[in-house]
């Protein structure tokens, strides 16, 4: 390709974008504001490296956070070049990590056909380890144990380090499970999501020849969404790119919203600490939103202190002010949003007052964003009453549906006969006369022999104590898996699935289930999806079509599968909305205790992250933004009073168009109090209704499970359980003093102090 084509690429870039694209060697930090064209910068720079500087694509590693973004990046680069960039690695941290591990599986105690455990698989392993260690699931929830181990792994905290730091009862329960987990995963030839980040780091740190191989292979490293990297991802980038320092990271410190799962905003704030010679480019021209929306975003984020600072500037003509709407309750709020969609869309009833958007809006042009998934219920009911199609992003994934998990269990076991979680799932679907007691007996014998369940099921001495019918059923099941495993060497994945479904008569099994037609349709969709599977370009060691299909299915997210062309209103949490954009956006539930969450008022870094999440929500809107809040909201079956979010208090008068619903006006309280930064401290509870309880938090209880607290008489302890709402909130605490033990207290009377060690 000619340099003339390259100059054409540059012609459409603004000066800051051009600086980023033309940068050749050395580190670079690109601070890319929302809607500033960062994907265009990344893809154009890669094309420029290949076309202008003659860099072989195999020397380029591009990492992003979603499979969808990675796919779009590959497609754009191919369009720019006019050909596929053969040899370039482009994917998520997890998919790149999986590829590296399959290339060197023996160095981490696995084979290339290892299984990637999702959360349910991992919790299953945790439960069985807890049973062996006699750790009560009532005292320590398996999910909480897994979360603690996940946090430790992503922070690169080893088992020995965790054991040394385990001081409270919960941590002391986690430590032995963490220690046992690695052995269990090795035996199952499996890894967790977290291992896809941690094990590649271990590979690079502990094996100099592997590190040298990847440093030599990837001479140019580009990382998108760098503000969301955690400790493991940060180390991964440093280990691969630290030697040659040709590292370009792109991100927005104002959109760092994953601190709760280990992301560290300091990675982007302190980039020059690791790369002192880094060039810095700020992308501040926004191509997405109107000036009114961006002015609001700039003001909303301004109170944050943990930021480098930048000001978004719109390239679009002026539009409407954002509208803030007070509603009577959450149902009234939902009805208002749906009616406004009908008006904006041009349904019977005419256009919305002051509407300046162009005509021709469809349902897919509208998005409803909220802080928590629980808020979707009232919105769904209102949309259904109106007859509007909608899609929930982040709800039950296709691959999490029971019938799909059943068949995936078989495929996982066929690919990896050491996978005990897959064995347990497959052997029970459909039922074949092998009860839980028989499986538990087999599992105990297998564990004693150090064998996986499938291998143990064909050992006469290990099944001798089982009923004859169970022994026969196990033998038939093992024979079926063996036959399908042999067939998988030649058959495509869809052929394998059809053979499996016929062999176990799964269609007949589903006929006794509710929603049988939906389940059968899902099975057909699984088979059709499997027919489209082809191995990745370049190939991976040990990656068969079945391995590839299982890896893709395990790593897919709700956003990855979202059909952008479906004519339906999109509903999702603001975390899921990251990276998306819509002509009209509604942010629902802007109330203290819900957004921001009440516990954020006692945690300044968390409060800043909540404000960044608000900023993300605002900047999803292209043409029109609505912000709604309710005077009361149903939580845990109880109608609770609420007040507008303190985040609205920094917005100057006149920047927002203020409205209230007809139902709220009918109560005589149509003027909603506007929380002013000058008149109230963040987190102060203000009542705008005489009957409202000013001390009741929208997010009650404000304490969380696993939190450290202190009681005036009983001393320090760890919260084990929470129940009730408002003044009836009760808390169960494991006190450090064994003479005190476990106590159940009423929060309103206990006088608990938080944060004690």
Any catalytic annotation for residue 172?
Answer: no
Catalytic residue among 620, 633, 635, 702: 620
Distance of CA 321 to the CA centre of its chain: 31
Q: Which residues pair with 719 in a beta bridge?
A: 733
Active-site residue, selected from the candidate residues 51, 118, 195, 224: 224
What's the rounded Cα separation, in Å, for the pair 390 and 469? 49
For tokens 């998990």, what's the residue?
A: 405
Specify whether 277 is catalytic.
no
For residues 240 and 218, the answer to whether their CB atoms sit within 8 Å is: yes
Q: Looking up tokens 């291992």, which residue turns up? A: 195
| Alpha helices for 492-582 (secondary structure H) | 493-503, 506-510, 516-531, 545-555
Peptide bond into 574 cis (omega under 30): no
SS3 state at 562: coil
Q: Report the run of H or E that residue 627 belongs to, with start and end.
A: strand 621-635
Beta bridge partners of 627: 324, 587
Q: How far apart are CA 586 and CA 322, in angstroms?
A: 10
Give CA–CA dist 417/189, Å, rounded. 9
Tell me whether residue 698 is one of the annotated catalytic residues: no
CB–CB of 450/462 below 8 Å?
no
Q: 573 catalytic, yes or no?
A: no
Q: What is the DSSP string of 432-447?
A: -S--HHHHHHHHHHHH
Calculated CA dihedral for residues 570, 576, 578, 584, nearest 10 degrees: 20
Distance CA 277, CA 294 (A): 32
Sequence-distant (≥ 6) Cβ neighbours of residue 528 within 8 angstroms:
494
Tokens representing 734?
């494991």
User: Which 3 state secondary structure label does DSSP give 80?
Assistant: helix
**Cβ 562 vs Cβ 346: under 8 Å:** no
Report how far residue 103's alpha carbon sits from residue 23's, in angstroms, rounded to the nearest whole number.
Answer: 32
Could you say which of 39, 215, 362, 472 is catalytic?
39
* Catalytic residue (choose from 225, 264, 332, 333): 225
Structure-block tokens of residue 138: 């009532």
Q: Identify the burial level of 301 via C-beta atoms within 10 angstroms of its C-beta, where 0-12 means exposed, 13-18 middle and 19 or more buried.
A: buried
Is position 39 annotated as part of the catalytic site?
yes
For residue 504, the number of C-alpha atoms closer than 13 Å in the C-beta half-sphere is 28
Listing DSSP states for 358-427 in one string gives: PS---GGGEEEEESSGGGHHHHHHHHHHHT--EEETTSS-GGGSHHHHHHHHHHHHHH-TT-HHHHHHHH
Would residue 143 show up in a list of annotated catalytic residues for this protein?
no
- Residue 173: enclosing H or E segment and its boundaries? helix 169-187
Which of the following is catalytic: 38, 40, 611, 633?
A: 38
Task: Give the C-alpha distances (Å, rounded to integers) separating 373 from 379, 574, 638.
Answer: 11, 10, 17
Helix 231-241 vs helix 208-217: angle between axes, to the nearest 10 degrees?
Answer: 70
Note every long-range contact of 648-651, with CB atoms under 8 Å and residues 24 or more positions apart, other chains counting: 648/324, 648/590, 648/674, 648/675, 649/674, 649/675, 649/676, 649/677, 649/680, 650/299, 650/300, 650/302, 650/303, 650/677, 651/296, 651/299, 651/300
Q: Which residues are catalytic?
A: 38-39, 224-225, 255, 620
């Amino acid at each position: 390709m000619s340099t003339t084509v390259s100059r054409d690429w540059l012609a459409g870039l603004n000066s800051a974008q051009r600086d980023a694209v033309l940068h050749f060697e050395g580190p670079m930090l690109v601070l890319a504001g929302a809607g500033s064209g960062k994907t265009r910068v990344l893809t154009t720079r890669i094309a420029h490296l290949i076309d202008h500087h003659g860099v072989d694509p195999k020397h380029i590693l591009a990492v992003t956070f979603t499979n969808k973004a990675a796919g779009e990046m590959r497609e754009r680069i191919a369009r720019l070049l006019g050909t596929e960039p053969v040899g370039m690695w482009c994917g998520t941290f997890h998919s790149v990590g999986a590829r590296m591990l399959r290339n060197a599986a023996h160095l981490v105690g696995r084979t290339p056909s290892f299984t990637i455990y999702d959360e349910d698989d991992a919790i299953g392993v945790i439960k069985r380890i807890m049973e062996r260690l006699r750790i009560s699931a009532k005292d320590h929830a398996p999910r909480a144990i897994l979360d603690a181990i996940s946090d430790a792994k992503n922070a690169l905290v080893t088992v020995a380090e965790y054991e040394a730091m385990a001081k409270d009862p919960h941590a002391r329960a986690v430590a032995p499970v963490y220690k046992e987990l690695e052995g269990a995963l090795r035996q199952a030839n499996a890894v967790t999501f977290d291992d896809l980040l941690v094990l590649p780091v271990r590979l690079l740190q502990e094996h100099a020849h592997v590190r040298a191989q990847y440093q030599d292979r990837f001479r140019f490293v580009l990382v998108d969404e760098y503000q969301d990297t955690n400790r493991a991802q940060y180390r991964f980038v440093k280990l691969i790119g630290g030697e040659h320092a040709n590292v370009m990271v792109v991100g927005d410190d104002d959109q760092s919203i994953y601190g709760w799962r280990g992301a560290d905003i300091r990675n982007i704030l302190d980039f020059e600490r690791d790369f002192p010679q880094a060039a810095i480019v700020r992308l501040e021209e926004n191509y997405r939103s109107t000036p009114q929306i961006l002015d609001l975003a700039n003001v909303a984020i301004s109170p944050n202190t943990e930021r480098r600072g930048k000001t978004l500037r719109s390239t679009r003509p002026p539009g409407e002010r954002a509208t803030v709407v007070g509603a009577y309750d959450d149902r009234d709020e939902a009805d208002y949003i749906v009616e406004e969609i009908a008006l904006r869309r041009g349904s019977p009833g005419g256009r919305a007052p002051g509407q300046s958007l162009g005509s021709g809006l469809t349902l897919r042009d509208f998005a409803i964003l909220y802080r928590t998934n629980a808020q979707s219920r009232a919105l769904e009911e209102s949309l259904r009453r109106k007859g509007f199609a909608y899609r929930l992003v982040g709800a039950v994934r296709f691959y999490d549906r029971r019938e799909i998990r059943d068949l995936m269990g078989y495929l996982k076991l066929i690919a990896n006969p050491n996978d005990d979680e897959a064995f347990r799932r497959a052997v029970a679907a459909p039922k074949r006369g092998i009860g839980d007691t028989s499986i538990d007996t087999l599992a105990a014998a297998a564990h004693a022999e150090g064998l996986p369940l499938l291998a143990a099921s064909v050992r006469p001495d290990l099944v001798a104590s089982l009923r004859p019918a169970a022994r026969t059923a196990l033998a038939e099941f093992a024979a079926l898996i063996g036959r399908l495993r042999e067939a998988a060497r030649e058959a495509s994945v869809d052929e394998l699935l059809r053979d499996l479904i016929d062999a176990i008569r799964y269609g007949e099994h589903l006929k006794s289930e509710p929603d049988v037609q939906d389940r059968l349709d899902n099975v057909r969709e699984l088979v059709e999806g499997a027919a489209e599977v082809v191995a990745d370009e370049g190939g991976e060691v040990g990656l068969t079509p079945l391995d590839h299909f299982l890896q893709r299915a395990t790593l897919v997210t709700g956003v990855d599968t979202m059909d952008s062309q479906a004519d339906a209103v999109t509903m999702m949490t603001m975390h899921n909305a990251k990276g998306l954009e819509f002509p009209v956006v509604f942010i629902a539930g802007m109330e203290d205790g819900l957004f921001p969450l009440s516990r954020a008022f006692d945690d300044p870094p968390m409060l800043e992250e909540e404000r960044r999440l608000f900023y993300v929500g605002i900047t999803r809107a292209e043409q029109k933004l609505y912000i709604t809040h309710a005077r009361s909201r149903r939580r845990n079956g109880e109608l609770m009073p609420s007040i507008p979010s303190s985040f609205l208090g920094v917005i100057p008068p006149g920047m927002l168009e203020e409205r209230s619903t007809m139902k709220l006006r009918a109560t005589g309280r149509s003027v909603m109090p506007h929380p002013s930064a000058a008149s109230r401290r963040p987190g102060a509870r203000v009542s705008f209704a005489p009957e409202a309880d000013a001390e009741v938090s929208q997010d009650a209880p404000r304490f969380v499970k696993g939190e450290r607290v202190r009681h005036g008489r009983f001393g320090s302890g760890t919260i084990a359980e929470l129940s009730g709402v408002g003044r009836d909130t009760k808390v169960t605490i494991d006190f450090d003093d064994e003479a005190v033990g476990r106590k159940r207290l009423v929060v309103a009377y206990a006088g608990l102090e938080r944060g004690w060690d």
